[in-house]
Amino acid sequence: MSRPSPVLAPAPTAVFLLHIGSMDNRLIGLSIERHWKQSIRLAQSLDEADVVLVDHDRPGVDEALNQLARHPGIGVVGYAFRPESLQTRFPHHLTVSKPLNLDALPGVLNRAALLGRPLQPVALTNMAIQESSEPRPWVSDEEPDLCGSLDDIPPSPGAPLPAKLFFEPTQYLIGHLAQALDEAIKTGRPHVVSGLPRLIGVPPLPQPVCVTSFRDTQLRPFSMAQLPDATARVVNALTFSGPGSTDTLHTAEDFLWNIAAWAARGRLPAGVDPYRPVRLRAWPNFTRTWAAPHALRIVALWTREWASPVEIARRLEIPQRYVFSAYTSAHFAGLFQPEPLAAISPPAQPANDVAPLIPPQRPSILSRILRKLLNAV
Amino acid sequence: MLSERVRHNKIIFSGTVGAGKSTAINALSDILPVSTEALATDEIAGMKKTTTVAMDYGVLNLPGGEKVMLYGTPGQERFSFMWEILSNGGIGLILLINNAQPEPLTDLENYLGAFSNFIAGTAVTIGVTHMDRAPAPGLDAYRARLAELGHTPTPAVFRVDARSRDDVAMLVKALLFTLNPGLSDA
């Protein structure tokens, strides 16, 4: 009887990071080092690379790509905010959209390296909802609202809720930020989220603020992606010296609203009961925070009455994912009202006797003004 | 002659001197606003070179030829007699508070008191201006004062740059949804 021959693991795909910014370089490098080293390794030069990863949005990308002329066998994976605009310019590149989804990236790199030919473009946005690491066809009408595509859950409690309705905040930047804010307020001392390419400082006084040199365009992909374990750490910042010349100062409420919305993408934090009534104590500062579709209507209604997220969606006749997104932001921004002493018991059945807020048949003057503002702004 | 209904399509902008009422109307209006600004001659002179002594007037042109008037009240209290006249029949109030004034929360209280009858039948949203150079009090302090004054649910309070059309439009949108969250935004 012959002994089975040992199965040799395939050699890791060698990826060369070509023309990539220092922040992306660090994040991808960390991911490879901590999570993907069985399947991916960093190549030190183009000569040893199976595939290159290119940031198409950085100035000078054409000059960088000229280096590939001498390496025709290397697969190319590019990433850009608008990958569709690059398909004609770089028909032989696999172009994926920002923000990069780190769960899906190894699969994409491996496939580009193995196939050695152009692949169908894939979208890597909203991938925490699409938990698979398989690339999926790039959709030209990419959902711009960042609220995902989750189906509604039943209007009444009872049925098991889908796991994908929830996300675990501690796996995202929002969880670390919320922890930093809690610690800062509790101790009265600044805390810092470190481990990312730039720091986020959270001094608690006189009012909690978040200080960072991250720009919004950088923060959004970091907020949307699950961070590799132990990437971000919250530390007591004895040496935090306050905002520097390149830092931007945000109120903690505005900052956490945005980061939470980008992480949520239509989901709820783990442990939230979508049938439990809550009420907003205040409007968020919508001139400085990101407003998902229907966010103003949701907030207007939710500041008026106690209602569950599911009930708010029913009253406004909108998909629940938009309400879940607002819920998540308000939760982390601290905008929910504390429950009154008399506990509010969630209704067993939806309050069907409360009619949905249906706009009148003939647009009112309010609707016509709104239409004007929505179309013009 | 305009119908009564059309004449009453108006949104009122009020608030403290230097809060940016004229600027906000200018940012939103589809016409060059009609302004009755004059050289400031009283205690205001130290703050701004001109001030509105009667009212500002702008227009939002709606499809179909309909118009919404944007009325700005004069900021000085000696013109407060005009506030009620201007606001009569209006859709709602955009209240702008200059956070760089010595007592902005008192200003808030005073203006809400002056417009209390109007607000009771309509709605108000509040824009806090000049927070870049005077960050305190923060928005939470405004919300707390509004709650103390019995304004529940708490009206929308936004940090606003009156020069920004987006900011001013957001105030108006919040006013409209406060009046009716059922308005379709699709």
Q: Prior bond to A91 cis, omega within 30? A: no
Q: Are A254 and A209 in contact (CB under 8 A)?
A: no
pLDDT at position A377, please?
40
B120, β-bridge pairs: none
Q: Which residue of B has its CA nearest to A374?
A: B185
CB–CB contact A206 B136 (8 Å):
yes
Residues of B in contact with A286 (CB under 8 A): 156, 158, 170, 174
Of A207, A358, A371, which has the smallest distance from its Cβ to B182's Cβ? A358
**Nearest CB neighbour to A287, from listed B138, B155, B160:** B160
Chains A and B form CB pairs within 8 A to the count of 118
**pLDDT classification of B55: cutoffs 50, 70, 90:** low
Task: Take residue A213 and report the two structure tokens written for it.
Answer: 């040199």
Q: How far apart are CA B13 and CA B59, in angstroms?
A: 12
Domain range B4-179, its CATH number among 3.40.50.620, 3.30.70.380, 3.40.50.300, 3.30.590.10: 3.40.50.300
Please say if the pLDDT value at position A253 is more than 80: yes
CB contact under 8 A, A365 and B178: no
Contact yes or no for B183/B177 (Cβ under 8 A): yes
**In angstroms, rounded to a whole number, what is the distance separating the alpha carbons of residues B101 and B17?**
9
Nearest to A357 among B66, B138, B181 (CB): B181
Nearest CB to A296; choose among B11, B62, B185: B185
pLDDT of A169 reads 96
The pLDDT, as a whole number, for residue B27 is 92
Beta carbons of A377 and B60 less than 8 Å apart: no
3-state secondary structure at position A2: coil
Q: At what angle do helices A173-187 and A320-333 cross, to 10 degrees?
A: 30
Per-residue 3-state assignment (H helix, E strand, C coil) for chain B: CCCHHHHCCEEEEEECCCCCHHHHHHHHCCCCCECCEEECCCHHHHCCCEEECCCEEEEEECCCCCEEEEEECCCCHHHCHHHHHHHCCCCEEEEEEECCCCCHHHHHHHHHHHCHHHHHHCCEEEEEECCCCCCCCCHHHHHHHHHHCCCCCCCCEEECCCCCHHHHHHHHHHHHHHHCCCCCCC
What does the pLDDT average to over A303-332?
Answer: 96
Nearest to A207 among B61, B138, B153 (CB): B138
pLDDT at residue A80, as a whole number:
81
Q: For residue A282, what is the nearest residue in chain B, using CA coordinates?
A: B154
| Gap from A250 CA to chain B (nearest CA, Å) | 11
Encoded tokens for A261: 């919305």
Per-residue pLDDT band for A322 (boundaries 50, 70, 90) equals very high
- The whole-number pLDDT of residue B98 equals 96
| Minimum-distance CB partner of A369 among B68, B136, B140 | B68
The helix/strand/coil state of A223 is helix
Assess whether pLDDT exceeds 50 at residue A63: yes
Average confidence (pLDDT) over A12-40: 80
Distance CA A359, CA B33 (A): 32
pLDDT at A332: 98
- Domain extent listing, chain B: 4-179
pLDDT computed for residue A198 by the predictor: 87
**CB interface of A with B, residues 227-256, below 8 Å:** 251, 253
More confident residue, A219 or B148: B148
All residues at 6 or more sequence positions from A138 whose CB lies less than 8 Å from its CB, including other chains: A83, A84, A96, A97, A120, A121, A122, A123
Lowest mean pLDDT among A35-39, A265-269, B66-70: A35-39
**Is residue A297 predicted with pLDDT exceeding 90?**
yes
What is the DSSP code (8-state) at residue A171?
A: G
pLDDT of res. A279: 97
Q: Dump pLDDT digits (tens) for A146-195.
A: 888 889 999 999 999 999 999 999 999 999 999 999 999 999 999 999 88
Average pLDDT for residues A123-140, to the nearest whole number?
29
Q: Yes or no: say if A29 and A15 are a contact pair by the CB < 8 Å rule.
A: no
Looking at residue A193, what is its pLDDT? 92
Residues in chain B: 186
The residue in chain B having the minimum alpha-carbon distance to the alpha carbon of residue A288 is B159
Q: Is the pLDDT of residue B13 over 60?
A: yes
The 10s digit of each residue's pLDDT in A190-232 is: 999 988 888 899 988 778 899 998 887 788 888 998 888 778 8
C-beta atoms of B182 and A297 within 8 A: yes
Q: Is B12 on the interface with A (CB under 8 A)?
A: no
Residue pointed to by tokens 């909108």 = A318
pLDDT of residue A358: 54
Question: Which of A92-101, A229-238, B67-76 has the least mean pLDDT?
Answer: A92-101
pLDDT tens-digit profile of A337-348? 987 655 445 444
pLDDT higher at A1 or A332: A332
| A337 has a chain B CB within 8 A of its CB | no
Residue A118: is its pLDDT beyond 80?
no
- CATH for A13-115? 3.40.50.2300
**Is the CB of residue B162 less than 8 Å away from at least one CB of chain A?**
no
- The residue among A79, A316, A101 whose CA lies nearest residue A221 is A101
> What ipTM does the predicted assembly reach?
0.87
Question: Which residues on A lie below 8 Å from B170 (Cβ)?
Answer: 286-287
**Long-range contact list for B70-73, CB < 8 A, 24+ apart?**
B70/B10, B70/B11, B70/B13, B70/B25, B70/B28, B70/B29, B70/B33, B71/B10, B71/B11, B71/B12, B71/B13, B72/B12, B72/B13, B72/B14, B72/B21, B72/B22, B72/B24, B72/B25, B72/B33, B73/B12, B73/B13, B73/B14, B73/B21
Distance from CA of A304 to the nearest CA of B (A): 6
Q: Spell out the residues 6+ positions from residue B123 whose beta carbon is closer than 8 angstroms to its own.
A: B92, B93, B155, B175, B178, B179
pLDDT at B6 over 50: no
The band of A128, judged by pLDDT with boundaries at 50, 70 and 90, is very low
- CB–CB of B176 and A369 under 8 A? yes
Residues B45-72: what's their mean pLDDT? 73
Question: Within a 10 A sphere around the Cβ of A341, how many other Cβ atoms?
Answer: 5
Beta pairing partners, A159:
A157
- pLDDT, average across residues A293-299: 96
Within 45-84 of B, beta carbons closer than 8 Å to A belong to 60-64, 66, 68
Q: Which of B122, B177, B178, B179 to mutate to test the interface with A (most CBs of A within 10 A)?
A: B177
pLDDT 10s digits, A349-370: 444 556 666 555 456 889 889 9
Q: Which residues of A56-75 are buried (b: 16+ CB within 10 A; e: fewer)?
A: bbeeebeebbeebeeeeebb
Mean pLDDT of B123-149: 96
Answer whether residue B51 shows pLDDT above 60: no
Report domain extents, chain A: 13-115, 166-333
Predicted local confidence at residue A84, as pLDDT: 74
Residues of B in contact with A206 (CB under 8 A): 136
Q: pLDDT higher for B45 or A35?
A: A35
pLDDT in tens, B90-104: 999 999 999 999 999
Instruction: Answer for the pair A324, A264: CB distance below 8 angstroms, yes or no.
Output: yes
Provide CB contacts within 8 A for A75, sequence distance 6+: A50, A51, A52, A94, A109, A112, A113, A114, A115, A116
A253-269 mean pLDDT: 96
All residues of chain A having their beta carbon less than 8 Å from the beta carbon of residue B9 are: 365
Comparing C-alpha atoms, which of A322, A304, A291, A285 is closest to residue B180? A304
